[in-house]
Amino acid sequence: MNADSTPLIVGAIVFLSSLISLKLGLSVAIVEIVIGAVAGGFGLKPEEWMTYMAGFGGIILTFLAGTEIDTRLMKEKFRASFLIGTLSFLIPFAVVFLYTYFAAGWSYKASLIAGTALSTTSLAVVYSVLVETGLSDTAIGKLLMASTFITDMGTALALSVLFVKPTLYTLIFISVSLNVIYLADKLSRHVFTNPLLRNKVIEPEIKYIFLLLLAFMFFAKLGEGHAVLPAFFLGLLMSRHFEETAESRVVRNRLRTVAYAVITPIFFIVGGMKISIPLIASVLGLFIILFMLKISAKFLGVFFLAKRFIPQGRMYTTLLMSTGLTFGTIASVFGLNSGYINQVQYSVLVGVVIASAVIPTFIAQRWFLPVHSEDIVETNRVNGNNGVKN
Residues 6+ positions from 335 with CB-CB distance below 8 Å: 109, 110, 113, 117, 341, 345, 346, 349
> Which pLDDT tens digit goes with each residue over 27-37?
788 889 889 98
Angle at 307 between CA 302 and CA 310, to 5 degrees: 95
* C-alpha closest to that of 235 among 62, 73, 105: 62
The residue-averaged pLDDT of 64-80 equals 79
Establish if 139 belongs to a structural domain. Answer: yes
Contact 73, 50 (CB under 8 A): no
> Which pLDDT tens digit goes with each residue over 143-180?
898 899 899 888 878 887 787 777 888 889 999 999 99
Indicate the number of domains in the chain: 1
What is the domain extent for residue 251? 3-383
Q: How confident is the model at residue 260, as a pLDDT?
A: 87
**Which string of DSSP letters, residue by residue, matches 99-128?**
IIIIIS---HHHHHHHHHHTT---HHHHHH
Quote the CA–CA distance of 93 and 88 in Å, as a whole number: 9
The residue-averaged pLDDT of 46-72 equals 84
Establish if 358 belongs to a structural domain. Answer: yes
Here the CATH number for the domain that contains residue 229 is 1.20.1530.20
Quote the CA–CA distance of 41 and 20 in Å, as a whole number: 20
User: Above pLDDT 90, what percent of the chain?
Assistant: 37
- Return phi, psi of residue 164, to 5°: -75, 130
Strand partners, 371: 389
The residue-averaged pLDDT of 216-235 equals 85
Quote the CA–CA distance of 308 and 369 in Å, as a whole number: 18
Establish if 388 belongs to a structural domain. Answer: no
Establish if 390 belongs to a structural domain. Answer: no
> Which pLDDT tens digit goes with each residue over 336-387?
878 899 989 998 999 999 899 889 999 998 899 886 533 333 434 444 444 3
pLDDT at position 77 over 70: yes
Establish if 84 belongs to a structural domain. Answer: yes
Name the pTM for this structure: 0.78
pLDDT at position 113 over 70: yes
| 249 burial via Cβ count (<10 Å: 0-12, 13-18, 19+) | middle
* C-alpha closest to that of 40 among 389, 362, 350, 295: 350
Quote the CA–CA distance of 138 and 312 in Å, as a whole number: 13
**Which string of DSSP letters, residue by residue, matches 199-251?**
T-TT-HHHHHHHHHHHHHHHHHHHTT--SHHHHHHHHHHHHHHHHHSHHHHHH
Strand partners, 389: 371
Assign 71 a pLDDT band (cuts: 50, 70, 90): confident
